[in-house]
Structure 1
Amino acid sequence: MNTTSSQPERTHLRLGFVALSDAAPLAVAALRDLGACHGITIELCRQPSWAAVRDKLLSGEIDAAHALYGLVYGVQLGIGGPRADMAVLMVLNRNGQAITLSRPLADAVDAGASVKEALLALGRRPVIAQTFPTGTHAMWLYYWLAAHGVHPLRDVESIVIPPTRMADALVDGALDGFCAGEPWHAVAQAREAGRTVAYTSEIWPDHPEKVLACRRDFAALYPNTARALVRTMLDACAWLDAKTHREEIAQALSSPELLGVPTALIAPRLVASGDGDARALPVRFFDDGAVNYPRVSDGHWFITQYRRWGMLDADIDDGDIAASVNQTALYRDAAWAAGIAIPGERRAATFCDGRVWDGGDAAGYLAGFDMHA
């Protein structure tokens, strides 16, 4: 029985977000009141860090959030924090993240040094920040460093700081680089503290990034509300497909309540990814729904990386975990009601080191890596 036309059990939702350009769907949904036609209202709740997003999701202070894909899985698995059953309702965007190195390191790479040579030339362990221990930025950074022959846990001091503090830390000399979302790479570059040396779409082209996350009991108790929220976010993501709309939301995102960063530093990398750099694939929010389906194989990939880096050794069925977290049935109901096509369950992705992941032979994929913790 299809229940997508049923009234939401909850009509006012508090949504958490961190000050990043890819929070755009939440901003669009709230500012344009897109939830009205689905029976909900949205209150945006800016959070200072991903740890704050985690804690307020678990305490119920926020109902759902714009969240790192890997944050959801870290909480589900109890890695580096409290464990709770979590839900990924949909993917909010693909691509749109980057790695910035300090100017001396970026200059060395530009001059022909390999990433490994440039980092070793410091004569000490480089300090490179990411935003959450199990988050997407940590996994992109680790994968990129390993692909360049640098062990991300032994050769580098990897630290966690909120994305809003990245540029300041680079300016102060506390960091040698960082992996995070925009607009903080644009900010660091504008302040002449560093330069973007890689885009995460070079690591995994069209990788999943932020998701719409909630506790699993919220989705179970309020399924109509969850579907209404997915419908609302799909509308917001579709609106963002137009270039003029991205320019419009970039201006709105500059407000102190959202990002608090000048539009001139938000718009270029939101409208034309990488500020026009040909290496960067565009940040994608919708593409007729191809972006948004919460593929189980995408979530499963994060678990392979936790095992790769010694963060997880539990004897559990990783595929079953991913299938329980990613709410594919709920998403299908919402997408069906909106007339949005459902893409295939698997997609093959070729990474920067030539390895291919399609969610099939996870054990064989993991066994192919020769760098472990």
Structure 2
Amino acid sequence: MPLTHLTAGFLPLFDSVLLVLAQEKGFAAAEGLELHLIRETSWANIRDRAAIGHFDIAQMLAPMPLAASLGLTPIATPMITPVVLGLGNNAITVSADLWKAMADQGAQGDLAAGPAGAALARVVAGSSRKLRFGVVHQTSSHNYELRYWLAASGIMPDRDVEIVVLPPPLLPDALSTGGIDGYCVGEPWNSIGVATKGAHIATVKASIWQSSPDKVIGMRAAWADEHPDQVSALIRAIYNAGLWCADPANQDEAARIMSGAAYLDTSSEIVARALSGMLDIGGGVTRQVPDHFIPHAYAANFPWKSHALWYYSQMVRWGEVTASAENAALAAACFRPDLYRTALAPVSAAVPAADYKADGARAEPGEIEALNGRLTMGPDLFFDGRIFDPTAVDAYIASQRQSG
């Protein structure tokens, strides 16, 4: 039986791994799909080529389908995500000079977001110039995580520091030339900054917001409606790739595949850091980051509507979209747990029974209500102790405005 051909865009980031493995390890073929993977150079290209139909599907930033559906993109197009490409993987990396200044102000080098943020706040307060940080796209998890960390640390983005957009592969070079003082990006570009530019990892996504999403498979809503069987097949391929990737016995092979010239084009040793969570943070210091990247556990591939609403809350917070019931509904509709459940029903995989969950109260792993079995969720704390309740989004937004 011939395979159905899908064109898939991706960026050279480690968290394209499940999309890559779906093709390279035969999980897509087992579902009747052949993925033609096209490596792009920027998220803007992914956004625009997906909107005009050059890509059937693409690795996307988790907030990107929301931005397209809410009209925040040049080619506004309703988009959805039916499956998430894992949790975690980002970090905030700073120049050697900035890290020295932060260490002088009490940063401890343990990757804890609170002390690192407090030290940075003291540096910013005493600086004679405005520091500049890079993110990979305006409507990105990276931008919202960086802004959340800064604001909760007493640093007001845009007023106290500047934030600019650069493609991920350019961030280490921009840091080394002094164009930026720090950046938020996914692996391997934090580790490459440390290994080649003398940079230092200040904190990680897993410390700012535990078990939080970052990349998804995105697609035009109209395409998904027209190809329901292909969407289901793709979800199962990504799910099985995540299951394979989560097995420690497969991590060396996954790192070798991802290190290839067609994907990350760097050493497998650097790539392996994202999988193991054993990060060289700079200055000869190595730290183990629990749950740095989660490819499958904790319902990592499930598209929670509540996560979509958290990103929507940040879009409102930073003036990108107006708060309204209509916009909140549009944002939530972009994440499609119904399609995820439909796809996995034939294989009786355990899936969350609910579409929404609160984040910020779970300090330890614990079970949730599930269909077809039992599911354990991981800790989901925000570093500042805040709780996001998806049933009270307006109150959450209002409280953030009051806190800066």
- Tell me which residue corresponds to 2:111: none
Asked whether 1:176 is paired with 2:181, we answer yes
Deviation at 1:32, TM superposition (A): 1.4
What CA deviation, in whole Å up to 9, does each residue of 1:317-372 have, x standing for no partner?
24421332112211111121222111243333221221101312111111111468
Q: 1:125 aligns with which of 127, 130, 148?
A: 130
Correspondence 1:142 to 2:147: yes
2:95 counterpart of 1:85: no
| Corresponding residue for residue 358 of structure 1 | 389
Residue identity opposite 2:71 in structure 1: G
Are the aligned partners of 1:202 and 1:280 in contact in 2 as well (CA < 8 Å)? Answer: no
Matching residue within 321, 327, 331 for 1:312:
321
Q: Which moved more, 1:158-167 or 1:329-338?
A: 329-338
Question: Hey, what does 2:243 align to over in structure 1?
Answer: 238
CA distance in 2, matches of 1:15, 1:314: 33
1:254 corresponds to 2:267: no
Q: 2:293 aligned to 271, 277, 283, which one? A: 283
CA distance in 2, matches of 1:141, 1:94: 16
Q: Deviations over 1:149-192 (max 9, x none)?
A: 11112111111000011111111111100001000000000124
Structure 2 residue identity aligned to 1:295: W
What secondary structure is seen at the aligned counterpart in 2 of 1:277?
strand
Structure 1 residue corresponding to 2:270, chosen from 251, 265, 268: 265
Q: Does residue 367 of structure 2 align to residue 367 of structure 1? A: no
Question: Is the counterpart of residue 196 in structure 1 residue 196 in structure 2?
Answer: no
TM-score (norm 2): 0.86
State the distance in 1 between where 2:289 and 2:276 align.
15
Letter in 2 for 1:366: I
The answer (yes or no) to whether the contact 2:51–2:76 under 8 Å persists in 1 is no
Tell me, what secondary structure is at the counterpart of 2:27?
coil
Q: Distance in 2 between matches of 1:371 and 1:80?
A: 28
Preserved contact between residue 18 and residue 245 of structure 2 (Cα < 8 Å) = yes
- What CA deviation, in whole Å up to 9, does each residue of 1:253-275 have, x standing for no partner? 11121011111211122222545
Between stretches 266-275 and 297-306, larger displacement belongs to: 266-275
Alignment partners' CA distance in 1, 2:347 and 2:157: 43
1: CA distance, partners of 2:330 / 2:357? 19
- Select between 15-24 and 269-278 the one with higher mean Cα deviation: 269-278
Q: Distance in 1 between matches of 2:178 and 2:338?
A: 48
- Distance (Å, rounded) in 1 between the aligned partners of 2:13 and 2:289: 21
Say if 2:297 is the partner of 1:292.
no
Aligned AA (1:95): G
Indicate conservation of the 8 Å contact 1:97/1:200, yes or no. yes
Q: Is the 8 A contact 1:20 1:183 kept in 2?
A: yes
Matched, 1:302 2:311: yes
> Which stretches of structure 1, 4 residues or longer, exceed 3 Å deviation after superposition?
273-276, 370-373
Counterpart of 1:347 (choices 348, 354, 357) is 357
Verify: 1:321 aligned to 2:300, yes or no: no
Q: Where in structure 2 are there 5+ consecutive unaligned residues?
A: 107-118, 281-285, 361-381
Distance 1:372-1:85 versus aligned 2 partners, 3 A rule:
farther
C-alpha distance in structure 2 between counterparts of 1:273 and 1:14, whole Å: 34
Q: Deviations over 1:192-249 (max 9, x none)?
A: 4310001011111100111111000110000111111111111111110112312211
Tell me if structure 1 keeps the 8 A contact 2:5–2:36.
Answer: yes
Whether contact under 8 Å (1:151, 1:371) holds in the other structure is no
Aligned to 2:54: 61
Cα distance in 1 for residues equivalent to 2:147 and 2:290: 19
SS at match of 1:43: strand
* Superposed CA offset, 1:72-104 (max 9, x none): 211111225321100111111101100011111
For 1:53 and 1:32, locate their aligned partners in 2 and report how far apart those are by CA, in whole Å: 24
Residue 39 in 1 paired to residue 32 in 2? yes
Cα distance in structure 2, aligned partners of 1:19 and 1:121: 37
- % same residue: 30
Distance in 2, matches of 1:372 and 1:57, equals: 37
Question: Pairwise CA RMSD of aligned residues?
Answer: 1.9
